[in-house]
Amino acid sequence: MESRQDFCQGRVAHCILRMAVPMTVAQLVNVLYSITDRFFIGHMGDGASLGLTGVGVVFPIISIITAFTNLFGMGGAPLCSIARGKQETLLAEKIMGTTCFMLLVTAGLLTVLGALLAKPLLFWFGASADTYPYASAYFSVYIWGTPAAMLSLGMNGFVNSQGFGRAGMLTITVGAAANMTLDPLLIYGFGMGIRGAAIATVVSQLLSAVWVMRFLTGPRAILKLRRGLVAWEPALLWKVVRLGFCHFIMSFTNAASQLAYNTALRSMGGDVYIGAMTVINSLREVITMPANGITGGAQPVLGYNYGARAYDRVRQGAICMAGICTVYMLLAWGVVFLFPEALIRFFNDDAELVAVGARLLHIYFFGFCFMALQMSGQAVFTSLGKAGYAIFFSLFRKVGLVIPLIFLLPGFLGIDGVLWSEPISNLIGGTACFLAMVRTVWKVLGKTEEGLPTGGDLES
């Protein structure tokens, strides 16, 4: 089994695709998982548009929870891959145990805080008097599923980092199948409405968490999650957090930008614009899914080869990943350009929301192919443990570009200027990130073996 998970063997592109295909399927299932609630809520009849907007208000809060999940899960998994590439099995298992410990502790704290501060949080993140009942009905149930959500997402990276892409895919598939079954049953069959959607999500997250934990403690895993290693390890935790902070920033700034979008759109356009933005965010999740699968599949391969000092293979893998992502994003942009109304109607048939959403969709996805450069650069930095670069470019695009532009551009372009912040930031931020990757990491990987960094450079 170990030899089958050796990413130093065979063509690099084949290794990446072997991981990327099941991870892309997992991404697809995960997207279906996350948008199922929005699909059924958007078509539940009276109050559908307000319900969809109410769920949109909850998105930034969910993004914050995801940020903490990524802080530990996406910080630990690449380090685990690197340690496995160096054949340091015990270190890899300690990294996994420390990550699990922090996910459990953080999930407990976030659950308590979310339950206690639910009402002010929802109003702060964009709820109005009309949409608050819907947002509250969803969030008051969803928050109690936080531990299961964080464990399933945060620990699944350790399944993938060992080369078990199909098992990682099943983690998501189990939950998604349950969610897609329970949503119509609870929303329509039992007449529970938006609260039923939240219950379906929590149950599904619990099933996914049980699956991933059973796998990591079972006989198939190369690296095992051992009870004695699920503990507080400050030295390892620091390394995990330094690398995972990039993904934390990405998710946290995503929450901040969603809050900025909600604030600006509510003040200038009202609830219908927030509803349209909810649909656009849902479509973005679907459209970026294959690219996320490619970058996610490439990361354990790049990390393993970097740990094994197979640097030429790291370069080949980065080229393959960037090329596939860019071509795909160009094709996806074309689909959005040609069929904006049809894409919006998939989530809601309200004439006003469709008209507003189609116009905003054209703007938001303009030049979306440049996002592939950002994703590829970030993936290389993260895979190789270059936390500083990854963190900088996460902050640069969202905090340095998107959020200021959301409030500056409407002065010149009206409400459409809010959406133009995205393509402008993709062009500038994506290009800068990719060029920085080429000029820094690329040059280092091109040196002779004697001039290459040692393992201690991973945290630099």
136-172 residue pLDDT tens: 988 999 999 999 999 988 898 888 777 776 777 777 7
Check residue 447 and give its pLDDT: 54
CB 27 within 8 A of CB 107: no
The answer to which of 36-40, 318-322, 350-354, 370-374 has the lowest mean pLDDT is 36-40
- In which band, very low, low, confident or very high, does the pLDDT at 23 lie, cut at 50, 70 and 90? low
Residue that wins the pLDDT comparison between 418 and 398:
418
Kindly tell me if the per-residue pLDDT of 53 is higher than 80. Answer: no
CA distances from 359 to 262, 399, 416, 419 (A): 17, 25, 9, 10
User: CA–CA separation, 199 vs 187, rounded Å?
Assistant: 10
Based on the number of CB atoms within 10 Å of its own CB, is 191 exposed (0-12), middle (13-18) or buried (19 or more)?
Answer: exposed
Residue that wins the pLDDT comparison between 424 and 10:
424
Residues 6+ apart with CB under 8 A from 249: 67, 391, 394, 395, 398
User: CA–CA separation, 385 vs 380, rounded Å?
Assistant: 9
Three-state secondary structure call for residue 453: coil
Q: What is the mean pLDDT of residues 272-276?
A: 85
Residues 6+ apart with CB under 8 A from 195: 137, 138, 140, 141
**Helices (H), ranges, 346-386:** 351-364, 371-383
**Residue 188 DSSP label:** I
* Token pair listed for 367: 């030049």
The answer to which of 4-13, 28-37, 149-158 has the lowest mean pLDDT is 4-13
Helix axes 48-85, 89-116, angle to 10 degrees: 160
User: CA–CA separation, 356 vs 306, rounded Å?
Assistant: 47
Kindly tell me if the per-residue pLDDT of 268 is higher than 50. Answer: yes
pLDDT tens readout for residues 80-131: 877 877 788 788 888 889 899 999 999 999 999 999 999 998 988 878 788 8
pLDDT tens readout for residues 410-456: 999 999 999 999 999 999 999 999 998 888 776 666 554 444 444 44
Q: What is the mean pLDDT of residues 211-216?
A: 89
- Reduce the secondary structure of 270-338 to three states and give it as a string: CHHHHHHHHHHHHHHHHHHHHHHHHHHHHHHHHHHHHHCCCHHHHHHHHHHHHHHHHHHHHHHHHHHHH
